[in-house]
Amino acid sequence: MPISEEIAGAFVNSQNEMASHFGAQRSLSTEQNFTTGDILWAVGIWSVILTLSPVIVFYMLMVA
């Protein structure tokens, strides 16, 4: 079921209003850069995944 243009436009408009309300309105450009916070977040998530994956595999082997 496709979203009508009116609903989609209202959603985008409300998002823009909230962003401008909180001072988070970004300039509309085609260039998107990763910030240091984005990179640290990704490294943190991957370190958790890679640290816990052997534990999960070992647990599955013990239970199965």
Locate 14 and state its tokens: 């409300």
Q: What pLDDT sits at residue 23? A: 61
pTM score over 0.75: no
pLDDT tens-place string over residues 14-49: 655 655 655 655 555 677 898 999 999 999 999 999
Q: What pLDDT sits at residue 35? A: 93
Residue 46 sits at the vertex; the CA angle it makes with 43 and 51, to the nearest 5 degrees, is: 120
Q: What pLDDT sits at residue 32? A: 83
Q: What pLDDT sits at residue 19? A: 58
Give the number of residues written for the chain.
Answer: 64
DSSP-based three-state secondary structure for 9: helix
DSSP-based three-state secondary structure for 62: helix
Domain ranges of the chain: 5-63
Q: What pLDDT sits at residue 64? A: 80
